[in-house]
Amino acid sequence: MKISIDIINRQRKIKISSKRLSIILKRIIKTLYLSGEFQKFKSEKYSVITVSLVLIGRKKMKEINFKYRGKNYVTDVLSFPYLEKVSPLNELYLGEILISLEKAKSQAMQYGVSMWQEINRLLVHGILHLLGYDHEKSSSHARKMRKMEEKILKNL
């Protein structure tokens, strides 16, 4: 199985390594794949698993958060799951993750972690949302998602 990562950087304030982001995302997906998280999608029949990552600024993140969630504030990460087969490559397209690097940077300082640690957390969080995890459904869903996040972050 091949993992394909599409990265689009739509912000210019913070320099970031697309190569490093791609490596991290591939590790996250591989960890989830090996733990059986993709079985419900019959992933063994796909030759490629693809995800898109878009890096955006605060203003755009606020606009998108309001448009799609009705929340009028800047958030750190948004996920838009697709989970559809894309022909003719026999590809499973998981969806798109949007991250505000400015928000990630300010949260890293707030939490006392490196920016890469915060980005790793946001990437894991975003991928889990693409796979159907939703911490806003209930406290039990939130605990399940947090537990999975911690498990994956330990493997990075």
CATH number reported for the structural domain that contains residue 25 in this entry: 3.40.390.30
Mean pLDDT of 23-35: 93
Q: Is residue 87's pLDDT more than 60?
A: no
Beta bridge partners of 84: 93
Contacts of 35 (CB under 8 A, 6+ apart): 151
Mean pLDDT of 81-109: 86
How high is the pLDDT of residue 144? Answer: 92
Task: Please confirm whether the linkage preceding 88 is cis (ω < 30° from 0).
Answer: yes
Is the C-alpha dihedral spanning 143, 144, 149, 151 positive or negative? positive
Say if CB 51 and CB 83 are below 8 A apart. no
Q: Identify the residue with better confidence: 125 or 93.
A: 125
Q: Identify the residue with better confidence: 91 or 41.
A: 91
Q: Is the pTM of this model over 0.85?
A: yes
How high is the pLDDT of residue 90? Answer: 77
How wide is the angle at C-alpha 31 spanned by C-alphas 25 and 33, nearest 5°?
100
Grade residue 34 by pLDDT with cuts at 50, 70 and 90. confident
The domain total for the chain is 1
Q: Is residue 55's pLDDT more than 90?
A: yes
Q: Where are the alpha helices (DSSP H) in 1-156?
A: 18-34, 58-69, 101-111, 115-130, 139-155
Mean pLDDT of 117-130: 96
Query: By residue range, what is the domain housing residue 75?
Result: 2-155
Q: Is residue 24's pLDDT more than 80?
A: yes
Q: What whole-number percentage of the chain has pLDDT above 70?
A: 94
Say how many residues make up the chain: 156
Give the CA dihedral 23, 78, 146, 154, nearest 10 degrees. 10
- Return the residue matching tokens 């949260």: 107
Q: What 3-state DSSP class applies to 138?
A: coil
Question: Picking from 37-51, 67-81, 91-105, 123-137, which range would have the lowest pLDDT averaged per residue?
Answer: 37-51
Grade residue 44 by pLDDT with cuts at 50, 70 and 90. low
Q: Kindly list the distances between the CA atom of residue 27 and the CA atoms of 4, 19, 119, 124, 140, in Å, as whole numbers in the listed order.
A: 12, 12, 14, 10, 26
Q: Is residue 151's pLDDT more than 80?
A: yes
